[in-house]
Amino acid sequence: MVAASGSAGLTRRQAVDQVRRRIAPLDARLLLQHCLGISHVEFLTRPDEPLAAADSEAFMALVMRRERGEPLAYLTGEREFFSRSFKVTPDVLIPRPDTELLVLQALERLKPLAWPRVADLGTGSGAIAVSIACEWPEAKVTAVDVSPAALAVARENAERLGARVEFRHSDWFAGLAGEQFELIVSNPPYVAAQDPHLSQNGLPFEPNGALTDGGDGLSCLRAIIEGAPAHLVPGGWLLLEHGYDQAEKVRELLGAGGFKEVTSWRDLAGIERVSGGRLPD
């Protein structure tokens, strides 16, 4: 193992090359750019710039954390979602490309509406709510989360990106009493407690309560489907992200909950990742 000061005196390119057997070369470059506060273009145009000792030490410290499996997004403090950079911390899930499908389907449902009201349940980093608000400024977006720490991150993302979103501290519908919406969206905890994926791919570093319900992975989805009709206008839509093997069950729950036009949509990997239905008029 290279010591924390092992890259002292090296150039930017040499520092990245030195750790390529320990972490992915792309991760190494992104971590170095983060430490130096430079863009990819600057790295490419000035690869032979010598590293200062302090920058070398900071870089190697991040390399060691990445080597232990800590997600890159937590190390750099940001993740791109829907072509925007979102702040992320260990208090929130890291936004995934799969979730962009939920935003796309939400925007599709908003097209015929003039001033739609949208609720995002379990907003986390705010990626869904903020993306919808940025793409559809006419929408009145309300986002809730049970975690005050997550709400702080979401509020900061909304402010940074100029999104008009109202944030509330709430456990699902508890803080929305008497309110109705044209669209409700959610990416709730849906991983079953015994799913081996929870111990893989950096998930142990993410907030467990935002990943799993501690049971079969369906309890939060059930609660949202059961509670949504009281908070949707006639003809309103509910859209839910769910697990790779849960689409059929979610469609059953939506049908049993009185929803019509129940459908599932596939992500870029061909997996049914989002399901939804419309409340009867």
**N-terminal to C-terminal alpha carbon distance within the chain:** 64
Q: Rounded to an integer, what distance in angstroms lies between the CA atom of residue 42 and that of residue 90?
A: 29
Q: Is 50 annotated as a binding residue?
A: no
Instruction: Note the Cα 181 to chain centre separation in Å.
Output: 22
Q: Is 91 annotated as a binding residue?
A: no
Q: Is 116 annotated as a binding residue?
A: no
Q: Rounded to an integer, what distance in angstroms lies between the CA atom of residue 82 and that of residue 104?
A: 9
Contact 172, 120 (CB under 8 A): no
Sheet holding 117-121, edge to edge: 165-169, 140-145, 117-121, 181-186, 232-241, 272-278, 260-266
Q: Is 122 annotated as a binding residue?
A: yes
Q: Is 208 annotated as a binding residue?
A: no
Contact 176, 198 (CB under 8 A): no
Return the H-helix or E-strand segment holding 143.
strand 140-145
Q: Rounded to an integer, what distance in angstroms lies between the CA atom of residue 163 and that of residue 141?
A: 9
Q: Is 142 annotated as a binding residue?
A: no
Whether the CA torsion 181, 108, 120, 187 is positive or negative: it is positive
Q: Is 190 annotated as a binding residue?
A: yes
| Closest among 81, 135, 130, 142 to 110, alpha carbons compared | 135
Contact 272, 247 (CB under 8 A): yes
DSSP conformation class of 188: -
Q: Is 229 annotated as a binding residue?
A: no
Q: Is 162 annotated as a binding residue?
A: no
Q: Is 124 annotated as a binding residue?
A: yes
Q: Is 258 annotated as a binding residue?
A: no
Residue 233, SS3?
strand
| Closest among 158, 168, 98 to 131, alpha carbons compared | 158
CB atoms within 10 A of CB 98: 16
Instruction: Note the Cα 107 to chain centre separation in Å.
Output: 17
In the annotated binding site for substrate, the residues are: 187-190
In the annotated binding site, the residues are: 122-126, 145, 172, 187-190
In the annotated binding site for S-adenosyl-L-methionine, the residues are: 122-126, 145, 172, 187
